[in-house]
Every structure is written in C-alpha cells, then in structure tokens.
Structure 1
C-alpha cells in the first residue's frame, strides 16, 4: 500500500512538473524537492519489501513464518523514509550553498527536477542504482528459497509435472519483480549506451509500472471472487455466504427437475 501510494504521488508530480515550472519558480522548487523525495522513497520501499520477502522465503530454502510486528514495521518505514530524507536534505543544503558552482539546483525553466545531469547522477542515479542492485540480490535469494520449497513440495507429490512447477515459479518471479523497479535498469543502459530506442523502452515500461502491480496482486482470481461475493451481498442483502447458498440451490434444482420428469 505504501509503495502504491508513493508511486502514485511520484508519477503525479512528474506529470505536472512541466506545467508548474512555467507558473512559479518557487513552486517548481517545492515540486522538485517533493518529487526527488518521492522517487527515492519508491525505491527504498521496494527494497524493504524485497528484504522482507527474502527474510520470509529465502531462509535456507524453507518458508518461515514472518516475524512482522510493530517494531519491525517501524524499522522498515524508518529506513524507507530516512534514506530519502537524508539524501534530499544534503542535496537541498548543497544547492543552497554551492548550487551555482557545482550545478546542483532544484527546478529550472524546463522541468521541476534536479539539475544538471552530473548532479542528478550523484543525488539520484547512484542511490537508485545501489538500491536496484540490492533488490536484485534479494530477489535472487527469494526466488531461490521459493524454488527449493517448491521442489520439496514436488517430491512429496510425485505426480506433479515439472512443467507446472516451472510455470508456477515463473509466475511468482514475474509478480515479485513487478515491485522491484527492475525496469529502471533500462534507463541506466540507455544513458550509458546513448541508444534512443532504449529510452523509448524505458519510458513505456515505467509508465505501466502501476499496471504491472495491479495485474500481479489485484487482478487475481481470489480478489475477483471477493468482489463478486461483495456485489452479491449488496444486491441480495445476504450474508457473506451467498455463494454457498447459491451452490446449494443449484444442487437442489436438478433433483426437482428429475422428480417432475418422472
């Protein structure tokens, strides 16, 4: 939930930043600071998710019960907000004291972001790259732990096909990778290779990041069943066991038809 909210805020600030730059320089500076903080927090939150998944599924190949409690949650949120706050605070201080000399500033006439290119690399690119590398390591550890647990389950159920095991593992990997921010790697490749086609791929993939998360974690069969039960409850004014009542009714209807036919 925190990741989705932060990502939504960062995307909105990025979308309207160009228009704000033409209205007010000071407002553009505020937009740039908040946008810088939001995008950094998107990656720190994804790193905390990757760390929690690694603790849960990547522990010696066995799935253990999550020890998530208030203290652990506070530590996650402290890191997720503290690191962006520290980077933005240092950037804001340097831009106020030495901004003209080192080319570090928040907002200009073209966009409400961090400039110039070299400064952007140090205060945003490098921290994001470090977090992505950490996410990649934790992702590999998580998938390895899930693969081992799935393999153990497959040996207990010898009739299960290897192809279905591979498909399940691939689905899990795709779902988990959708919240790791790996599409941003195309941006770094495009920046260093200077290939314009890679920039288009990078923009398209990141524009649909919210769609990936929706398809991976919201547009599922379980969620659709919950929405269907809720809709039936609203329509018929019954309890949450509407589906079971409908099944019983469906079973009783054929028997009545058979009695009439006799």
Structure 2
C-alpha cells in the first residue's frame, strides 16, 4: 500500500502548479516581449483584414509553437494513459474468457480513449489539418468539432449512470429538505 506524507504531497502539488501555470506563462511572456519590445515596425501579432485568421508568419508561429508543444505533451500523456489502461485491462481480462468478452473489453477501452482525447484537446488537430490542407470542408469540420467539444465532454462524463444517480439523489434530498422546511414553517404558524 502506498501512502503519501503531507509534505511530499505538498511538494508534488507545488511542482504541478509551477508546471501548469509556468509553462503557459513562458509563452505569454515571450509573446508580450516580442509584441511590445520594439523588435519590428508595426504589431507582431495581427489578423488579416479580409479573414479572421493569423496572416503574418510571426503571428502564425506564436500561435502554432505553443499549441504544438501543448498537443505533443498531451499526446505523450495520452500514450502513457493508453498503455496504463490497456495493461490494467489486459490483466483483468485474463479472468474473463471468450471472444465476446474481448470485443466488449476493446469497445470499453475505445470509449475511454475517445473521452480522454476530448479532454486533452485533440480536436485542435483538425485546426492544424485545416490550415495545412486548405480545403473548406476541413474548416467547417474544425469549427463544428471545436464548437461541440464541451457538449461531447458533458455527454461523456455528465450523463453516465453514476452521475445520473448522484443527480437523482441530490434532487430527491433537495425536494425532501424543501418539503420539510415548508411543513415546519406551516406548523410553526399554526
């Protein structure tokens, strides 16, 4: 059994916070220095007057470099997670046998991977593809996928049996407390 002392947990939490807040801060500071540091005439980051997208190479680089770093690190985390889930499921599937059981197990794993990929922002890959391929269909696909990402995450994590049961229990308890409070007020007035 693994236990964590509060000091080791605190140190880990501080390191996670430094990485989580520090990494984006580096990119923001670089962008601010380049934008306002007087390194070139005119703005460093700007949009095209005809389209709502980055036009200058500097603007594109300042968007895509941080986004690429983020997606690549998320891809590494995803691969680590897939390996962990698959190896865990593999050891538990030894107890279950049969082709149907293996198919169900694979379907469960696939659902887990799709949900995790949504959380890690892999929908932005469509944005990269849309920029490289330059086909209007990809632009529309990117817009639709990104727009519905929150809906997909809600459906994936907010509508499972456990969450529905929690909502049901919470609403029943709320109704019982409301009913009890109203009846107490009515009886106090009598």
Unaligned runs of 5+ in 2: 179-190
* Conservation of the 8 A alpha-carbon contact between 1:99 and 1:105: no
User: Shift in Å at residue 162 of structure 1?
Assistant: 0.9
TM-score normalised by length of structure 1: 0.58
- In the other structure, the counterpart of 2:94 is 155
* Conservation of the 8 A alpha-carbon contact between 1:95 and 1:104: yes
* Conservation of the 8 A alpha-carbon contact between 2:126 and 2:138: yes
- Number of aligned residue pairs: give it: 174
CA distance in 1, matches of 2:3, 2:133: 42
* Counterpart pick for 1:139 among 64, 73, 78: 78
- Where 2:23 maps in the other structure, the secondary structure is helix
Instruction: Confirm whether residue 80 of structure 1 aligns to residue 46 of structure 2.
Output: no
CA RMSD between the two structures: 3.1
* Cα 1:195–1:114 shift into 2, 3 Å: closer
- Where 1:98 maps in the other structure, the secondary structure is coil
User: Shift in Å at residue 235 of structure 1?
Assistant: 2.0
- In the other structure, the counterpart of 2:175 is 235
User: Shift in Å at residue 123 of structure 1?
Assistant: 1.5
Unaligned runs of 5+ in 1: 1-63, 239-262
* Counterpart pick for 2:160 among 220, 233, 242: 220
The higher-RCO structure (CA 8 Å, 6+ apart) is 1
CA distance in 2, matches of 1:178, 1:130: 17
CA distance in 2, matches of 1:114, 1:92: 19
